[in-house]
Structure 1
Amino acid sequence: MILGLNHITIAVSDLERSLGFYRDTLGFTAHVKWDNGAYLSVGELWFCLSCDEPCPKSDYTHVAFDIAPNEFQAFTKRIVSQGVDVWKENKSEGQSLYILDPDGHKLELHSGSLKSRLEALTTKPYSGLVWL
């Protein structure tokens, strides 16, 4: 039986650049690095950078990271002021900033939860929504 999310690994073209972005810009904790990768963490999530050739995606696939509501404005203002690219405007429940990492991986900084999203759907349902 699956217990939950174990870790996320992303392909990066420049380990030092990506390590700097995730550690210094986003505030992840860096643990170790080696010739072709690094392990970091954010909260309880294990996050791996692996040297490879990233494949840019044009679809909506992205990774969303949780941020406290009272820290959202200051944190995202700092991120944007550092010139991080924004790839989408937020139009859904909760506060979100959609950004790209140095290799173009789509990320979201989000203040909200599944519970708050489901509550929002009771008053503003998606087209064709079916409750399961």
Structure 2
Amino acid sequence: MGATLDHVMMRVSDLEESLEWYGEHLGYEEKDRWEADTFTNVYLGPEKLGEEGAMLELTHNHDGGPEEMGDAWGHIAVRVPDGELEDYYQQLMDEGVEDYRDPDSCGGRYAFVKDPDGHEIEIVKRDPEQGALWSIDHTMIRVEDADEALGWYTRKFEYEHTGRWEADSFANYFMKPEGASDESMALELTYNYGDNTYDLGDAWGHLCVRADDLNEFWDDLMTRDAPDYRDPESCDNEYAFTKDMDDHEIEIIERDPNSDSLFPN
């Protein structure tokens, strides 16, 4: 089935400010842009983005930015070389990035900063062979039922459980398609013990998976009883959307290797 994670979309209030921020601090470059009547979408990523590397999609609605961050959406995580977390975090601080959670406060294992809209960005240590500097390592979303979520992504998308972290008050589960490369983005499911009901908000957009054949992939999802949210026909057979058990939107897209655009056309 494949289902490589292609990109993660989030909404921003000032597109040019966000493009400048990601370009200056993470070295992201614009990969492609789609201008519509009411919104603009921009794909971003490191210069040397691998074939299975995930992009960041920024969406700016022309009538304004997101109104609510919500807490169902967690963060994206970006990679720095193992052993250099403190150096890269200090570099961001020297560049004027907001000091949100420094490495010391996170036991030296990771750190967090925020972008201009308050989207949280985790910085994680990885072997350089696992992906380009600042490339997206994983996207975290919160789920209300860990067992249901793990089963859903296994059944619908054939994802494998690749890692787990248990703490006193929560558990993190990492998932990827079978056979995915180290550079590909993982999905992190966070389950908080106790009160775990969340609001989606509108700042978080969606995950997107890449299909070899859009309609065949969609038919498989329907066979597996995935929600029929926006089928390919309703999207001019250019993409489609389903939703997971917690209403996180998941786009399915088919890339045309001969197209001049990364966006469907």
Question: Is the pair's TM-score, using the shorter chain for normalization, greater than 0.5?
Answer: yes
- Aligned residues of 1:94 and 1:111 also touching (Cα < 8 A): no
- Aligned residues of 2:84 and 2:125 also touching (Cα < 8 A): no
1:77 is the counterpart of 2:90? yes
How many residues are paired up?
124
- 2:167 corresponding residue in structure 1: 126
CA spacing shift, 1:69–1:11, aligned 2, 3 Å: same
Residues 80-95 of structure 1 aligned to structure 2 (within 5 Å): 80-90=93-103, 95=109
* C-alpha deviation, 1:16, in angstroms: 0.8
- 1:49 corresponding residue in structure 2: 58
* C-alpha deviation, 1:67, in angstroms: 1.4
- 1:12 corresponding residue in structure 2: 12
Question: Which of the numbers 108, 113, 119 marks the counterpart of 2:122?
Answer: 108
Post-superposition CA distance 1:85-127 (Å, at most 9, x none): 13335555663220110011011111159xxx75xx6xxx523
- Calculate the TM-score normalised by the size of structure 1: 0.72
Post-superposition CA distance 1:25-66 (Å, at most 9, x none): 111232234552311123411111110322234678111112
- 1:39 corresponding residue in structure 2: 43
* Higher radius of gyration, 1 or 2: 2
CA spacing shift, 1:86–1:4, aligned 2, 3 Å: farther
Structure with higher helix content: 1
**Structure 1 counterpart of 2:112, which letter?**
Y
Structure with higher strand content: 2
Question: CA RMSD, aligned part only?
Answer: 3.3
- Aligned residues of 1:94 and 1:112 also touching (Cα < 8 A): no
**Structure 1 counterpart of 2:43, which letter?**
Y
User: Taking every aligned residue pair, what percent have the same amino acid on both sides?
Assistant: 24
Unaligned runs of 5+ in 1: none
- Aligned residues of 1:21 and 1:102 also touching (Cα < 8 A): yes
Unaligned runs of 5+ in 2: 128-162, 174-265
In 2, Cα distance between the equivalents of 1:129 and 1:10?
24
